[in-house]
Structures are given as C-alpha cells and as structure tokens.
Amino acid sequence: MQPAVDLQPAQPLISARGLTKSFDGRTAVDGIEFDIQAGQCFGFLGPNGAGKTTTLRMTMGLTPVSGGTLSVFGLPVQEHASAIRARTGIVPQAENLDPDFTVQENLQIYASFFGLPRTAVANRIDALLDFVSLTDRRHSRPDALSGGMQRRLTIARALINDPELVVLDEPTTGLDPQARHVIWGRLNELKNSGKTLLLTTHYMEEAERLCDELVIMDHGRILAQGAPRDLVSHYVEPEVIEVRGAPDDIEALASAAGCRLERMGSSLYCYTHRPAELTGQLKDRPRLRYIHRPTGLEDVFLRLTGRELRD
C-alpha cells in the first residue's frame, strides 16, 4: 500500500492493515484490517478481552503498534499522534474528570490543553453544557454528579476542540436505561452533524441503534464486518424461538421442525426460516415459556463468538 499524503475524498478517515499488538508475547490484536469512512458511525463489537480497547488506543497513538500500518486523517499514527489527537475527541471507558475543578472549570482546563484560550471557548462551553443538559450544574464538582451526568460531561469535554472524529470506549457501560437513552440521543445528534464516530461496545442494542457499520471482534481478530442489518441476514436465520427451561424432548421437536439449535444456560434457541412449524406445536403446551422474535445482532454475535463465559 502506498502511503498517501493528501486526504482525497474517497480515502478512509481511518485505515488499518495487518494491525497487530502483542503484550509480553500475548497477542491482543492479531493482524486486523478495517477502513472507516468520514461521517460514519463505526463500531467495534466484541466480548471483554477481544482487543477493542487496545485497537482504539492504537488509533489514538496511546499505545505503540507492534506491527502493521495504521493511519488516521491520512497520517501515520506513530509519528503524528499529537496532531491526530488535536482533531479528535476521546471519551474513555472509565471516568477521569478532574475532581479538583467544577464542571465548567473541567471544560476550561481541558480547552487549555488544546491551546485554546479561555475567551475563545467561553461560548463553546455554554453551548456544550446546554447540549449535554448540564447548564444548571456548571458549578458542581464532578463527584456531586450522577454517573449519567459524569458521562455527559465527559462527552462535552471530548467535544471542546470541535473534533472531526469522536472516539468512545464503551460509552454507556454502567449507566441506567434512562441515562443510556439520553447518551444515544446525543450521539445520534453528533452523527447527524457530520462527525465521524468510532465506538466500542458489548451492547448489541447500542451497536444496532448507532452503528452504520461494525466489526465483530474476538480473540484479537475480526470475525465479521458490515452493516448491522446485513450481518443479521448473512449470518443467522430471520427468526428465533427462544424456549426457556426447555425440556429434553423439545430439542427433538425443534430439530424435526427444521430449526438450527443452540443451547445457552437453560434456554434453547431455535433458529429458523419457517417458525410456524415449531410454534404450532409449542402452543399446545401451555406451561412452556417461549419467546418468538426476529433475529438480531445478538444472535450473530453469539453465533460467531460462541457461548462460553467471559471474564
């Protein structure tokens, strides 16, 4: 691949080829390749330890690359990390707001790290506080905020330099459902305003709602890549009947009805193109609890990454 100097219209915003990272002989990221186009919301979906965060840190020059090539904004990351971060907003996995400063001061100090003078960002800070609904908490300390508010402040902080690219590492992990919906709403607004979003998550719903394109990662490798809908139609049958606490004879019944079966815990997942064949028989057994639903990303994910427990 020729190293490109100018950012041409068709050139991806982020491009990785054979990207590898090993820690003391353990391979965390194993020769992955991906291209992220400007204006996209691109997701890394995978179980814990899949190599998502490591990939994200490499793209921001926060951990050295062990092998392969990686460029952001058309610039090789190793040599231009500082310049790349000047045009990026980063939302880390764990909160690292400055506890010594108020909400507003956190934004002011952060702006100063980008070399933005206080007078130049005063209006921007007002707008960002409004965007994340924290205007009335501007004089609070971060530890007086709820988890959802802290997350929103972290997102506002990541936008202080008006970045072209926003990188979010598990943006809603640990938040309650209401707080999560508020964050999703804000991220959608960012996407609509033309920013490129790059996020990691292990929430299927989050990936389905936000991502235009995603990769499913496990053990440092990319298992599948595509738009969420395409992944679902490519990897799994259109419908699934999930039987809870399934007695043994159900397996035979479902197999006979032409289902592909997966067992997880005490549930039996019956994937099928023709659900009526099975549901017709299940209806006769009133004590049986089952859910019939269209398949989603979760089914793709479970199929590709297996069902064993992760730490």
Partner 1 sequence: MIPLRLPRIRRGALYVWRRNILVWRKLLVPAILMNFGEPVIYLLGLGFGLGHFVGEMAGLPYLTFVATGIIASSSMTTASFEGMYSVFTRMVPQKTYEAILATPLEVDDIMAGEMLWCANKALFSGSAILLVATLLGVVHDWHALLVLPVVFLIGLCFAGPALIMSALAGSYDFFSYYFVLVVTPMFILCGVFYPVDTLPETMHGLVQLLPLTHGVYLTRGLVAGTELAHPWLDVAVLLGFALVSYVIAVALVRRKLLV
Residues at the site binding partner 1, with contacts judged by CB under 8 A: 23, 60, 62-64, 78, 81-83, 85-86, 90, 92, 94, 96-101, 105, 109-110, 112-115, 158, 161
Query: What value does the CA radius of gyration of the chain take, rounded to a whole number of Å?
Result: 22
In angstroms, what is the minimal distance from the CB of 264 to partner 1?
A: 34
Q: What is the C-alpha to C-alpha distance for residues 145 and 142, in angstroms, rounded to an integer?
A: 5
In angstroms, what is the minimal distance from the CB of 207 to partner 1?
A: 23
Task: Give 21 or 191: the residue with its C-beta nearer to partner 1.
Answer: 21
Task: Give 141 or 221: the residue with its C-beta nearer to partner 1.
Answer: 141
Q: Which strand ranges, in their side-by-side order, compose the sheet holding 14-23?
A: 26-36, 14-23, 67-72, 75-76
Q: What is the C-alpha to C-alpha distance for residues 78 and 238, in angstroms, rounded to an integer?
A: 44
In angstroms, what is the minimal distance from the CB of 214 to partner 1?
A: 23
In angstroms, what is the minimal distance from the CB of 76 to partner 1?
A: 13
* List of residues 6+ apart from 249 with CB closer than 8 A: none
Task: Give 157 or 303: the residue with its C-beta nearer to partner 1.
Answer: 157
* List of residues 6+ apart from 64 with CB closer than 8 A: 58, 78
In angstroms, what is the minimal distance from the CB of 56 to partner 1?
A: 11
Task: Give 32 or 91: the residue with its C-beta nearer to partner 1.
Answer: 91
Beta pairing, strands 260-264 & 88-91: unpaired
3-class state of residue 54 by DSSP: helix
Task: Give 46 or 61: the residue with its C-beta nearer to partner 1.
Answer: 61
